[in-house]
Amino acid sequence: MEIRLSSVLLAAALLSGCGWFHRGEKPSNQVVVDEPAGEPSIIEPQVNRRVVKTPKIKAKDVELGAYFGALSIQDFGTNPLYGVRAAYHVSEDLFLEGFLARSKAGTTSLQDVFPNITVLSDAGRHFTYYDINLGYNVLPGEIFLGRGHAFNSQLYVTVGMGDVKFAEKDQFAINFGVGDRLLITDWLALHLDVRDHVFETDLTGRVKNVHNIEATLGITTFF
Amino acid sequence: MRRLLALLLVMQAFNVSAALAKSRLVEVIITDPFIEMHSGPGRGYPVTYVVGRDDTVTVLYSRTEWYKVRAPSGQEGWVRRSDLARARLASGEPAPIPPYPDFATHRWEVGAGYGVFNHQNLVTGYVDFSLTDSLDAEFVLQQAFGTIDNRYLATIGLRHTFIPEWKWFSPTAGIGTGYQYIDDKVPPKPLETHNQMAYVSLGVRGFITRRFMWRADWRKYDVFTHQNENEEPEEWKFGLAVFF
């Protein structure tokens, strides 16, 4: 009795398994024609239904690009800066963006007076940062170049946070900035940005907040 | 001569690809009495052209809630999503304007935020995949900035959303495991630089607009060390995310 019951259960399990294996199959495409019995039709229609696929509309909400400018590292002079940027536009007002950039600090004024003092090692002079920001297009508008040309532009403000690696130490930094996105065409933009990176450091002897202001020019494309 | 031929071939290939690209664009027929075309993808940009009922416009691409279209006259401009959504295809079907993802049943989430880990500033970034409407798998990368060390945390976990249909405020709870790497800032070196850890979390999530949402989380970690006691840091964070 027990063997019979278990074989019944096994058969049931196998059957349900078969059903599972067939679940992904599509129904057959062939057209079934109801024929009256005894009257074979001369032409058997074999027309498959034509599937018209509507193309997708491409969304160009992602902006990628590079920028170049000057970074004023507090106490260490103003130096060239290079970086890459990416943004995702959530709505016509809001966007999220990320930055990755690098610069190299010069010497302090103190070293100009006393050249033998070493404040930073060569590796420590690298100023590298990443930022994650939230941006808001505050003043969208148009910029006119002469009589014949108008370019769309957006003045935006951003606030964010990230990591600044300076003097071989990673520091938490907040940043806030203002910039203008000038659209040369609808997919190519020029950026002018001013941003301040603020972090706490004890590099010059006492703990203080340092402001590192950058002014950059960038170019981006929309994807 | 051969070079010229090659150049012509390349140009021809470009032409063909351009023609193919053109043929893949969507054409819709306007059903409203008229719709306005703006000079830019924003509510304030001036209206530069108007297309009327039964005109066919070619949809080039979209940016946020605006669509760039080309009118029969060749004039290009931006139309509002809601205006275009009422248009029809030549077959009579509605225009293929995808609806915004439903917040309660979305699949993917990408976000970033600020937090406090063991009294240290924390930057966090995460990706979240919905296994069901109420169960997510989350993958989180974090950097905590301490005065004596920096920590890099990578965690993977499961999160349950208690009432996913509550749009503005829905509680969550989760568990997971991960790894931390300690990078010392000042000597002495930490006793251990790599640790495995586990966590439990409680949180809330809510909808903001369209594809935008927020999350707040509390986590309690158990860091497995070779010392007599395990480390048990706490973490608070708040983040913004985009969902698809």
Q: What's the confidence (pLDDT) of residue A21?
A: 43
Report how far apart, in Å, the C-alpha atoms of B15 and of each of A116, A185, B21 are: 65, 22, 10
Q: Choose the CATH number for B103-243 among 2.40.160.20, 2.40.40.20, 3.90.1150.10, 3.50.50.60.
A: 2.40.160.20
Query: Is residue A178 assigned to a domain?
Result: yes
**pLDDT recorded at residue A203:** 81
CATH of the domain at A187: 2.40.160.20
Residues in chain A with pLDDT < 70?
1-40
Any idea where the domains of chain B sit in the sequence?
25-97, 103-243
**Interface with chain B: mutation pick from A52, A90, A136, A153, highest number of B CBs within 10 Å:** A90
Residue environment code for A161-173, b if the CB has 16+ CB neighbours within 10 A, otherwise e: bbbbbbbebbbbb
Task: Give me the mean pLDDT over the B120-125 stretch.
Answer: 94
Alpha carbons within 13 A on the beta-carbon side of B131: 9
Q: What is the pLDDT of residues A151-187, one digit of tens each?
A: 999 999 999 999 999 988 899 999 999 999 999 998 9
- Which residues of chain A are within 8 Å of residue B40 when distances are taken between CB atoms? 140, 142, 152, 183
Q: Are the beta carbons of A57 and B65 separated by less than 8 Å? A: no
Q: pLDDT digits over B23-45, tens only?
A: 578 899 999 999 999 999 999 99
Whether A116 is covered by a domain: the verdict is yes
Q: Which residues of A touch B65 (CB under 8 A)?
A: 91-92
Cα B31 to chain centroid, rounded = 32
Q: Which residue has the tokens 């997510």?
A: B136
For B125, the closest chain A residue by CA position comes to A132
The domain B25-97 is classified under which CATH number: 2.30.30.40, 2.40.128.630, 3.40.50.10420, 1.10.3720.10? 2.30.30.40
Query: Is the pLDDT score of B124 beyond 50?
Result: yes
A91–B89: do the CB atoms touch at under 8 Å?
no
pLDDT of A39? 65
Q: Which domain holds residue A205?
A: 62-222
Task: Report if residue A28 sits inside a domain.
Answer: no
Helix H or strand E encompassing B2:
helix B2-23
Phi and psi at residue A69, to the nearest 5°: 180, -155
pLDDT attached to residue A121:
80
Q: What's the confidence (pLDDT) of residue A151?
A: 93
Which of B 1-40 lie inside 8 A of A, CB atoms? 24-26, 39-40
Give residue A195's pLDDT: 96
**B152 CA to chain A: closest CA distance, Å?**
11
B212 at the A interface (CB within 8 A)? yes
Gyration radius from chain A CA atoms: 33
Half-sphere exposure of A169 (CA within 13 A, CB side): 18
Domain count, chain A: 1
pLDDT of residue A19: 42
Is A150 domain-assigned?
A: yes
Domain presence at residue A38: no
Q: β-pairing, A58-59 with B56-63? A: parallel
Identify the sign of the CA torsion A85, A89, A90, A94. positive
Does residue A103 form part of some domain?
yes
- CB–CB contact A55 B25 (8 Å): yes
Neighbours of A185 (CB within 10 A): 10
Other Cβ atoms less than 10 A from the Cβ of A38: the count is 5
- How does pLDDT run across B162-204, given as a tens digit for each residue? 999 899 999 999 999 999 999 988 888 888 889 999 999 999 9
Query: In this complex, do A222 and B63 lie within 8 Å of one another by their Cβ atoms?
Result: yes
Omega of the bond leading into B233 within 30 degrees of 0 (cis): no
Query: Which of A57, A134, A143 is the best mutation test for B, with the most CBs of B within 10 A?
Result: A57
Q: Torsion angle, CA of A30/A31/A32/A33, rounded to 10 degrees?
A: -140
